[in-house]
Amino acid sequence: QIPLRLVGSEMCIRDSSHAEAMRDDPEGWGAAESRELENHRRNGTFQLINRSSTTGSDAKRKRLVPLTWVYKRKRSGILKARLCVVGCAQRPGVDFDQVTCNTLQASSLRMLAALAALDQLHMRRWDFEAAYLQGELEVGESVDCSAPPGHATTGDDGGVVVWRAQRPVYGMAQAGRRWQRSLYPWLLEFGLQQSEADPSVFYMRTAPGAHRHKDASIAADVLYVGCYVDDLFILYKHDGGGSLYDKFTTALKQRWRVEDEGPITDLLNIEIEHGDDAVTLKQTAYITKLNKEYFPNGPPADVHASTVPHTMDIRECVLEATADGAAPAAPALATYKRLVGALLYCATQTRPDVSYYPVSMLCRAMSRPTAALMDAALRVLAYLNKHKEVGLRYQCDAQNRLRGYSDADWAVQRSQSGFVFTLGRASISWGSKRQPVVALSTCEAELMAATEAAKEAVHLRRLHAELTFENNPPPTRLHLDNMGAIDTAYNHAHHSRMKHCDRKVFWIRELVEDHKIVVPFVESDKNIADFLTKPLPAKKFFAIRKVIMNEC
């Protein structure tokens, strides 16, 4: 039997080969391979040439890159074989140069969800069929491959036949970048504008009164497109004939092989629920999957709804672990890394309630986990499982403005900075970072935290202005709870006590002078960024969680 494992909604073969597939089901897998090869033939992906024509003075053609088969048995029983390049065998500078492929940023996805709630936009997901194969390689670029296992032939010269890839192929190191450089120019050619803040976001608006249309409402239309490799996250106001969405999808179907997957329900293991008055992002299924893996007999019985995800002594546990020079056993280390990595994905996507305490702290001991830290990681998972239905809930807000909060937990050694930005009543961006230098006062620590938050404010402000088509947006409010830091952000009132600080700490003054941000005061017990700087008791923890996630 070919070893199988469950991946999403499909069964994928692991550590398999063409020979194993043929032993398992020669007729079924053989037909699947034939269908894949026929797709490549119609697409013009490969050019078959004699091996002798790739040698000679052209030294880079002397070594061939292997091709391999990846097999899938879907839940429906359909057998699928995909031909892939073994990308790890490609040589940098010979077979490829640049490989970076931009993807939709997490904060951009959350901002689009917030705008969908604020403006009552429709949301749909479109998928490209065999996206990479629809891309184009650079002029003169090609990759010479050996024949696929089971399909080697002899050339005219009696030698082997080389499969020269003339289009991006799955597994190829540069395939994602080449696909992106085929898709993005087409989106711009259609008329969409590309965001400067996030190159994977495109937008378009038909201004009211710009032209006459039999349906007057369509004269005020909007279209947003978020790209994540071969998935399009499309938000639109109208879908009738003549609307931006109708024109875009018509052109999309004419140019590319695409599939309309309907109203979006999930993207990147994030579930998206669109109700009458709210858009919610959560990871219930992802957390359930983790729970089954690490708690096969069910979660601990001592975890209650009022249990916070951290213990108050977690900082001490991390310091003890990092000070210990003994390396843990390899299996324990691998398990810890895998679990904390999975928790980190939750913390950076939809769960700011576990972002700093404890997930960020657990990451500091990634190479030196102890039994206490493993228990702490399992405690986080048990907490998430108990509250797996909780997510970021965006609703229409009376002000509909981007707002930020910054805070710092001053320490004798390096302090902790934290910030959170909200739109549509819930968080769209958050972060927590240990400060790079020792702060000599609370004012200094708060100012360094505010500078980090201001950098995020500039990014979000630019993206929000683009998507809302504001030419001169009002200053973004960045709330602080330290009057000394606020005074320093506006002037040199505390020069004698701050003259030793690096110049970058005072960059926030330039933003204030340019009317990009304002720094109002907020009382400490109302500063929701406190959530990301220190462990909190249960009562305060759940009170702030309710605010930053806009729980019902």
Task: Using a cut of 0.95, tell me whether the model's pTM lies above it.
Answer: no
- Residue 246's SS3 state is helix
Q: Residues 114, 117, 121, 127: what is their CA dihedral angle, to the nearest 10 degrees?
A: 50
User: How many other C-beta atoms lie within 10 A of the C-beta of residue 526?
Assistant: 12
Q: What are phi and psi of 276, to 5 degrees?
A: -65, -35
**pLDDT for res 313:** 86
DSSP strand pairing (517-518 vs 416-423): unpaired
Q: What are phi and psi of 125, to 5 degrees?
A: -120, 130
264-276 per-position pLDDT tens digit: 999 999 999 998 8
What letter represents residue 192's amino acid?
A: L
Q: Can you say whether the dihedral through the CA atoms of 162, 165, 169, 173 is positive or negative? A: positive
Contact in structure between 386 and 305 (CB atoms under 8 Å): yes
Degrees to nearest 5, angle at CA 498 with 492 and 503: 85
Contact in structure between 54 and 3 (CB atoms under 8 Å): no
* Sheet arrangement for strand 67-74: 4-7, 10-13, 67-74, 79-85
Q: What are phi and psi of 432, to 5 degrees?
A: -145, 130
Sheet strands (E) in 167-265: 193-194, 201-206, 221-228, 231-236, 258-263
- For the chain, report the end-to-end CA distance as a whole number of angstroms: 50
- Residue 83's SS3 state is strand
Closest CA to 114 of 392, 394, 399: 394
42-52 per-position pLDDT tens digit: 889 999 998 88
Residues of the chain with pLDDT under 50: 1-15, 56-57, 59-60, 209-214, 216-218
**pLDDT for res 4:** 36
Contact in structure between 209 and 197 (CB atoms under 8 Å): no
Instruction: Give the distance from CA 349 to its chain's centroid.
Output: 7
Strand partners of residue 31: none
Degrees to nearest 5, angle at CA 228 with 126 and 87: 115
Contact in structure between 222 and 238 (CB atoms under 8 Å): no
